């Protein structure tokens, strides 16, 4: 995958990322807006990783580390570029980031209905943790 470039997003990338997620990502999040992604990149400039081929955005992953846990969100690959190792390369970059920051375990948010994503995560060595359930409360 020598033609894939992985880099951290900058504020100039954010409109393209938001448009990309509408095409490539499954589901939406309360933070899928300019303000939410700006805050992410400002707080942790290395967290939003982009995969590019010939200057075109083909994949993303958010690799957030809060000092305690490593969290993965928004692993998305453009439908025209799937099954080419892009997700694997993005996850490898995220895991390298976590190790460099002192992280010990990565966890991912994966929609229950998204079977394609579940297969990708399993192929990358991740497993569902059935003992835990996500609890949420919208703060805004």
Minimum mean pLDDT range among 30-34, 40-44, 75-79: 30-34
* Mean pLDDT (whole number) for 7-26: 95
| pLDDT given for residue 136 in this prediction | 81
Residue 58 makes CB contacts below 8 A (sequence gap 6+) with 4, 51, 52, 77, 78, 81, 86
pTM recorded for the entire structure: 0.91
| pLDDT given for residue 111 in this prediction | 84
Residue 80 makes CB contacts below 8 A (sequence gap 6+) with none
Q: In the chain, at which residue ranges do the beta strands (DSSP E only) sit?
A: 4-8, 48-53, 56-65, 70-77, 106-108
Q: In this model, does residue 101 exceed pLDDT 90?
A: yes
| pLDDT given for residue 2 in this prediction | 64
- The SS3 assignment for 89 reads helix
57 in Cβ contact with 50 (< 8 Å): yes
Chain segment 81-96, per-residue pLDDT in tens:
999 999 999 999 999 9
| CA nearest neighbour of 58 among 17, 103, 104 | 17
| pLDDT given for residue 133 in this prediction | 81
Minimum mean pLDDT range among 7-21, 32-46, 68-82, 109-123: 109-123
Q: In this model, does residue 1 exceed pLDDT 70?
A: no
Burial of 52 (0-12, 13-18, 19+ CB in 10 A): middle
Give the integer Cα–Cα distance in Å for 100 and 22. 31
């Amino acid at each position: 995958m020598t033609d894939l470039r992985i880099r951290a997003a900058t504020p100039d990338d954010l409109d393209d990322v938001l448009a990309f997620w509408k095409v490539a990502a499954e589901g939406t999040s309360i933070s899928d807006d300019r303000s939410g992604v700006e805050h992410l990149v400002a707080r942790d400039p290395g967290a939003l990783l982009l995969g590019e081929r010939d200057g075109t955005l083909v994949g993303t992953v958010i690799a957030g580390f809060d000092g305690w846990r490593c969290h993965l969100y928004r692993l998305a690959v453009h439908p025209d570029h799937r099954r080419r190792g892009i997700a694997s390369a993005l996850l490898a970059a995220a895991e390298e980031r976590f190790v460099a920051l002192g992280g010990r375990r990565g966890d991912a948010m994966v929609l229950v209905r998204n079977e394609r994503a579940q297969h990708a995560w399993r192929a990358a060595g991740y497993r569902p943790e059935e003992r835990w359930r996500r609890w949420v409360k919208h703060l805004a």
